[in-house]
Amino acid sequence: MSLGRWGFRIAVAIDQLGNAILCGNPDETISSRAHKAKLKGKRWGCILCRFLDWLDPDHCAKSVEWDE
């Protein structure tokens, strides 16, 4: 496994840990959870997705996990 791929996996694991700490599904990223919240009109999801989408266009929508 390349160092870049390993780093990506570690970043996803930290993201999922953060979501679990915030009482979310431990197998879902914060970005995925934020997109679902945004679709429900929750303010925090809209704000977080606007910021993340500014850094990486459509970041939240691309990261959503519908089965999580």
Find all residues with CB under 8 Å of 37, minimum gap 6, and list them. 44, 45, 46
Compute the average pLDDT of residues 37-60: 96
The runs of H, that is alpha helices, within the chain are 3-21, 30-39, 43-55, 59-63
Q: pLDDT value at position 67?
A: 81
Quick one: which of 44, 40, 41 has its CA closest to 30?
A: 44
Contact 34, 60 (CB under 8 A): yes
Cα gap 59→27, rounded to integer Å = 18
8-32: per-residue pLDDT in tens? 999 999 999 999 999 999 999 999 9
Query: Mean pLDDT in the chain?
Result: 94
Q: pLDDT value at position 68?
A: 65
Q: pLDDT value at position 1?
A: 75
Q: pLDDT value at position 66?
A: 84
